[in-house]
Amino acid sequence: MLRKTSIISALSICVLLSPFVLYRIKQVSANLSNTRYQVIEGNIAEGDLLGEVLIANGLTSAQSFGITGAMKDVFDLRRCRVGDRWEIYLTEENEFVKFIYYDGPLDFYVGEFDADSDTYTAVAQQVEAERTLCGAQGSIASSLYESMTFSSISPELIIQFAEIFSSKVDFFTDCRAGDKFTLLWDVYMDKNGNPLKDIQVVAASYSPEGKTYNAFYFENAEGKGGYYDENGKSVETAFLKAPLNYRRISSFFSHRRLHPIHKVYKAHLGIDYAAPKGTPVSSIGNGTVQFSGWRGGFGNTVIIKHPNNYTSWYGHLSKMATGITKGKKVSKGQVIGYVGSTGVSTGPHLDFRIQKGETFVNFLTITIPPAYPLEEKYFPEFNIMKDSLLSKMAEVKDKDTTIIFAENKTK
């Protein structure tokens, strides 16, 4: 909720009208050049409700109801996040003109009152932006994160980079001083060339001593994309490293474990991931739901059949995600349920199991298969793109600053 308000001015004149309210004055657009208006601006704070924010900053209950009602048609008000920016436009006579809500750096929503029809309307708009290719390079001095940050690479891109090469390099243990990295990524920029939002890594290279790993993002005609090496082999694995963000492993795969409830030794052919109730659980890979429902001591359970004769089990769920029913196709990383303690369980956790054929195997020790390689029919298009990106990566390797390439793709 706003603690001070402002009127913006083309003359940049600031006038303190009360101990708590700061106003600046500016001209409006050319077609209303003789009109001045006030702009009350602020950010969503913890616990704020949009309707209450509007009332607290001078709008009537009727105006607040009208604006929020119109906004619901173009924006889900439940998506309001702490820190989101908003503006209320008023005439000098304090009559409401419009309300703008900024949902991130690109999207914004405008709510206005139409006096002729006596109704409130809202529209979704986007900042004028161009999709631009950027590149940077550097060397490891300490950690990957610190070294990439020093090269002005954002945390989001660093995470993407680490995930791309996670099957090749453990960046927690295998980083060495002097290892080199190169990165190309797409970013949205405004008309003045200021970056608004990083989109994704387009190409990446990591060179530990004596080796070089390359990855190029390619999206086929069906809209399916992935990262491939220079030979068209996927650099990704078929499975996630874990099906959820967990606090700890409370029980490992074992052929002889003392059961915590029955107090007898029996096999535990899975891994128990301790996590709070409601933690999202994701499918470890692409597949088809084979079972979704109650399964005795496992409680709410989802079983997914994967390529290469693998089957994954997810037990003790509090509930299944919407639409997760038998026959449903799911993708790697898709949420299929939520951590719970249903069935025979001592507390919230995920009992995760994986079969190879008919045999349960230890997920922590198996060699995870790679994702499928690029289809041969896409090789000509892929090679043209790869050669272009390799050329740009060579340009980046000779520079100490972030490079912005000339060709842009309008958003």
- Rounded CA-CA distance 195/119 in Å is 37
Q: Please report whether residue 2 resides in a domain.
A: no
Q: Any residues with CB less than 8 A from the CB of 173 and at least 6 apart, and which?
A: none
Last residue of a domain, one of 126, 152, 176: 126
Residue 75: count of CB within 10 angstroms of its CB: 20
> Tokens 């597949």 label which residue?
287
Domain span at residue 353 reads 248-361
- Find tokens 């619901």 and name the residue: 72
- Assigned domain for 397 exists: yes
pLDDT tens-digit series, residues 8-43 = 322 222 222 222 233 333 334 434 445 678 889 899
Q: What is the pLDDT of residues 354-405, one digit of tens each?
A: 999 999 999 888 888 888 889 999 999 999 999 999 999 999 887 777 777 7
Please tell me the predicted confidence (pLDDT) of residue 266: 52
Q: Does the pTM of the predicted model rise above 0.75?
A: no
Count CA within 13 A, CB hemisphere, residue 120: 19
Residue 89 lies in a domain: yes
In a domain, 111, yes or no: yes
pLDDT, tens only, 45-92: 888 889 999 999 989 999 999 999 998 989 888 888 888 899 999 888
What number is the average pLDDT over the span 277-297? 93
Q: Look up tokens 């190029």; give the residue.
A: 216
**Region 146-163 average pLDDT:** 87
Q: Which of 110, 126, 142 is at the close of a domain?
A: 126
Give the ranges where 256-364 is alpha helix by DSSP (H): none
Tell me the pLDDT tens digit for each residue of 231-286.
Answer: 999 998 888 888 886 555 656 545 444 445 544 445 567 898 888 899 999 999 99
Give the pLDDT of residue 35: 62
Given 68, 102, 126, the domain boundary residue is 126
121-138 b/e with 16+ CB inside 10 Å = b? bbeeeebebeebbbbbbb
**Residue 111 confidence (pLDDT) above 70:** yes
Q: Tell me if 336 is assigned to some domain.
A: yes
Q: What pLDDT was estimated at residue 166?
A: 81
117 and 31 both lie in a single domain: yes
- Is there a contact between 246 and 406 (Cβ–Cβ < 8 Å)? no
The pLDDT assigned to 22 comes to: 30
CATH (domain of 150): 3.10.450.350
Task: Answer whether residue 350 is part of any domain.
Answer: yes
Report yes or no on 3 lying in a domain. Answer: no
Residues 223, 274, single domain; the answer is no
Domain count, the chain: 3
Q: Which tokens in the block code for residue 363? A: 């997920």
Q: Which residues pair with 223 in a beta bridge?
A: none
Q: What Cα–Cα distance (Å) separates residue 205 from each residue in 48, 181, 357, 390?
A: 44, 5, 36, 10
**Does residue 255 sit in the same domain as residue 298?**
yes
